[in-house]
């Protein structure tokens, strides 16, 4: 395996310029976004794109999201949309971008098959984080940026998480502190007659529907992940083990059940909404803190993590999606 010294950069202009130079010369650089840290490579650099899959241990049929600094960048990676789709794209862009929304577009012929895993669509996002925008602008070209973790493990929400997974495998990490959103972007497909949410995220179905309906479309539907197991998956990443710490993750529906599981499978850490937090034995569960808390449970050599999914938590589709996957052994 390729081995290098991984540099830890600050948010200074000098360091952003050095990071951009590394990317232009074909290296991999991790950087903060508002969702999670991304592992960046130039979108048109085939050898760098291939090295992303090696560094992460990512299956090659799991496509990468292209990160753009501005709307005009879309023309470099996407073919033109049909009129009604373009109207919806414009409205979604106006409402949620830059931000935690990823939109599938028809792939431009210049986009590498390694980026889209051979699909005819390319996923595009406009990160809101100022360091992400500064880096993309300094490189002068969109960046592919999957989450900067070892494949299967919880996504990184600090530069330390990136270092602990990828040190020695990538050229540098830009330290922008903790990510404000903490879970990955909402991924939507607006190219099919039925508008679909391929991955739930902090931008909710209700928010998306508000825009779609105003533009004369029917509301979004959630893609059925189970249906995608054998058939060609709509969003290939959905079929893989994701977000899972080394500790076993159990779901509980009441505090009493959580405490019973904790006594049965020690050492255990319970995660629950803020109102349950009580010093050491119960940690806060939120979108922003989920991955950091799962990683911390491993660092503290917990055997189990028990997540209290009360009614309030169960209403949060994005958080439940990540929790369910973290609890799945596959
Ligand atoms: P990550 O970068 O690790 O947050 O994962 C990106 C996810 O976006 C992938 O796992 C896919 O599920 C989804 N994705 C990216 N590109 C496409 C595409 N062209 N079609 C469908 N889903 C995509
Ligand atoms: Mg990921």
For the cut 70, the answer to whether the pLDDT of residue 17 exceeds it is yes
In this structure, the chain runs to a length of: 330
> Where do the domains of the chain lie, and which CATH numbers do they carry?
7-222 (3.90.870.10), 248-327 (no CATH)
Spacing, Cα 268 to ligand 2 middle (Å):
26
For the cut 90, the answer to whether the pLDDT of residue 281 exceeds it is no
**Of the residues 37, 65, 188, which should be mutated to test ligand 1's pocket, given the most ligand atoms within 8 Å of the CB?**
65
**Of the residues 35, 196, 236, which should be mutated to test ligand 1's pocket, given the most ligand atoms within 8 Å of the CB?**
236
Spacing, Cα 90 to ligand 2 middle (Å):
27
Which residues are near ligand 1 (CB < 6 Å)? 62-63, 65, 104, 116, 119, 121-123, 146-147, 184, 187, 198-199, 235-238
Q: What is the pLDDT of residue 298?
A: 97
Q: What is the pLDDT of residue 216?
A: 97
**Nearest atom within ligand 1 for CA of residue 236:** 12
Separation of CA 312 from chain center: 23
Q: Which two tokens stand for residue 303?
A: 């055997």
Q: CB-based burial of residue 230 (10 Å sphere; 0-12 exposed, 13-18 middle, 19+ buried)?
A: exposed
Q: What is the pLDDT of residue 217?
A: 98
User: Rounded to 5 degrees, what angle do the CA atoms 90, 96, 98 make?
Assistant: 95
Spacing, Cα 253 to ligand 1 middle (Å):
31
Q: Which residue, judged by its Cα, is nearest atom 2 of ligand 1?
A: 146
Spacing, Cα 99 to ligand 1 middle (Å):
16
Spacing, Cα 180 to ligand 2 middle (Å):
17
3-state class (DSSP) for residue 26: coil
For the cut 80, the answer to whether the pLDDT of residue 13 exceeds it is yes
Spacing, Cα 88 to ligand 1 middle (Å):
20
Q: What is the pLDDT of residue 228?
A: 44
Q: What is the pLDDT of residue 226?
A: 55
**Nearest atom within ligand 1 for CA of residue 184:** 4
Spacing, Cα 321 to ligand 2 middle (Å):
13
Strands 196-199 and 38-42: unpaired
For the cut 90, the answer to whether the pLDDT of residue 1 exceeds it is no
List, in order, residues 6 or more apart from 6 with CB less than 8 Å away. 163, 166, 167, 168, 169, 170, 171, 172, 173
Spacing, Cα 50 to ligand 2 middle (Å):
16
**Of the residues 49, 64, 190, which should be mutated to test ligand 1's pocket, given the most ligand atoms within 8 Å of the CB?**
64
110-159 pLDDT, tens per residue?
999 999 999 999 999 999 999 999 999 999 999 999 999 999 999 999 99
**Nearest atom within ligand 1 for CA of residue 185:** 4
Q: What is the pLDDT of residue 159?
A: 98
Question: Which whole-number Å values give the CA distances from 108 to 95, 135, 161, 287, in the listed order?
Answer: 25, 23, 34, 34
52-83 pLDDT, tens per residue?
999 999 999 999 999 999 999 999 999 999 99
For the chain, give the mean pLDDT. Answer: 94
**Nearest atom within ligand 1 for CA of residue 146:** 2
Q: What is the pLDDT of residue 305?
A: 97
219-243 pLDDT, tens per residue?
999 997 655 444 555 666 666 778 9
pLDDT-derived band at 44 (thresholds 50, 70, 90) equals very high
* Mean pLDDT of the 5-9 span: 97
Q: Which residues are found with C-beta within 5 Å of the ion, ligand 2?
A: 147
């Amino acid at each position: 395996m390729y081995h290098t010294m991984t540099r830890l950069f600050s948010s200074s202009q000098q360091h952003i310029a050095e990071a951009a130079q590394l990317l232009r010369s074909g290296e991999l650089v991790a950087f903060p976004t508002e969702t999670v840290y991304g592992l960046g490579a130039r979108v048109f650099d085939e050898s760098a794109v291939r090295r992303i899959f090696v560094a992460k241990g990512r299956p090659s049929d799991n496509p990468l999201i292209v990160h753009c600094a501005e709307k005009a960048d879309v023309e470099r990676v996407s073919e033109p949309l049909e009129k009604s789709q373009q109207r919806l794209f414009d409205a979604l862009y106006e409402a949620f971008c830059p931000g935690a929304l990823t939109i599938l577009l028809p792939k431009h012929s210049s986009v590498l098959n390694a980026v889209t895993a051979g699909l005819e669509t390319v996923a595009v996002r406009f990160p809101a984080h100022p360091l992400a925008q500064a880096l993309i602008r300094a490189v002068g070209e969109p960046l592919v940026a999957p989450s900067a973790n070892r494949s299967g493990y919880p996504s990184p929400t600090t530069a330390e998480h990136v270092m602990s997974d990828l040190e020695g495998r990538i050229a540098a990490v830009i330290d922008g502190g903790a990510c404000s959103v903490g879970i990955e972007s909402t991924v939507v497909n607006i190219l099919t007659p039925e508008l679909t949410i391929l991955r739930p995220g902090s931008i909710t179905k209700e928010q998306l529907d508000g825009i779609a309906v105003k533009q004369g479309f029917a509301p979004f539907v959630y893609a059925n992940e189970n249906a995608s197991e054998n058939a060609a998956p709509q969003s290939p990443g959905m079929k893989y083990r994701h977000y899972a710490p080394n500790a076993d993750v159990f779901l509980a529906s009441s505090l009493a059940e959580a405490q019973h599981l904790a006594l049965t499978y020690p050492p255990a850490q319970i995660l629950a909404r803020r109102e349950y937090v009580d010093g050491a034995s119960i940690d806060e569960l939120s979108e922003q803190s989920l991955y950091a808390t799962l990683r911390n449970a491993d660092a503290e050599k917990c055997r189990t993590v028990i997540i209290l999914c009360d009614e309030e938590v169960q209403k949060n589709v994005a958080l439940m999606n990540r929790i369910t996957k973290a609890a799945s052994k596959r």
